[in-house]
Amino acid sequence: MICELCGKEAQLFKTEIEGTQLNVCKDCAKFGNILEEVKEKKVEIKTKVKKKEPGDEIIEIVVSDFAQKIKNRREKLKLKQEELAKKLGIKESLLHHIESRKFMPSIELAKRIEKFLKIKLVEEYIETGMNIAKGETAELTIGDIVELKRK
């Protein structure tokens, strides 16, 4: 990370200098009050990749618009989050997180919701080595891939 004052590559500290918050290096931080250490954002990757062996693999992916799909369908069925959660055997708060895309359901849970709501939430892709059979997969971010399964 680069210091916003001197441009040096260093561990940065969020520092208030003359009323302005800047991410600066330790040396420049002396000019103000250090508020906190700046942590580099880590990309959350939810993948479970099993060791690749020769042959095709079927990858199951929770569709990227799962939140919208569940919400739309639930509203169509005139179910409250509370009611749907109960039927699915999950907590209402969890369903709320799923619908607001804060939480991606596991393949198992997605399948359960899929079955209950009769919507498509899990897609299967056949992968041959590094080649992805379906072009769509490439558009998914790594965060969209929850679990890789071998059948």
> Given candidates 12, 22, 25, 109, which one binds Zn ion under the rule CB under 5 A?
25
Decide whether 15 or 81 has the Cβ nearer to Zn ion: 15
Strands 131-132 and 13-17: unpaired
Query: How many binding residues for Zn ion (CB under 5 A)?
Result: 7
- Does residue 29 interact with Zn ion by CB under 5 A? no
- Does residue 45 interact with Zn ion by CB under 5 A? no
Phi, psi of 69 (to 5 degrees): -60, -45
Decide whether 8 or 111 has the Cβ nearer to Zn ion: 8
Name the strands in the sheet holding 131-132, side by side, starting at the edge strand that comes first in the sequence.
Answer: 56-62, 122-128, 131-132
Of 83-112, which residues contact Zn ion (CB under 5 A)? none
**Sign (positive or negative) of CA dihedral 76, 77, 80, 84:** negative
Stretch touching Zn ion by CB under 5 A, among 20-28, 53-61, 84-92, 97-105: 20-28
Stretch touching Zn ion by CB under 5 A, among 18-26, 41-49, 99-107, 116-124: 18-26
Measured distance CA(11)–CA(130) in Å, rounded: 37
Minimum Å gap between C-beta 23 and Zn ion is 10
Angle at 121 between CA 118 and CA 127, to 5 degrees: 135
If you search the block for the tokens 């800047």, which residue do you land on? 22
Minimum Å gap between C-beta 42 and Zn ion is 24
For Zn ion, the binding residues (CB under 5 A) are 3, 5-6, 8, 24-25, 28
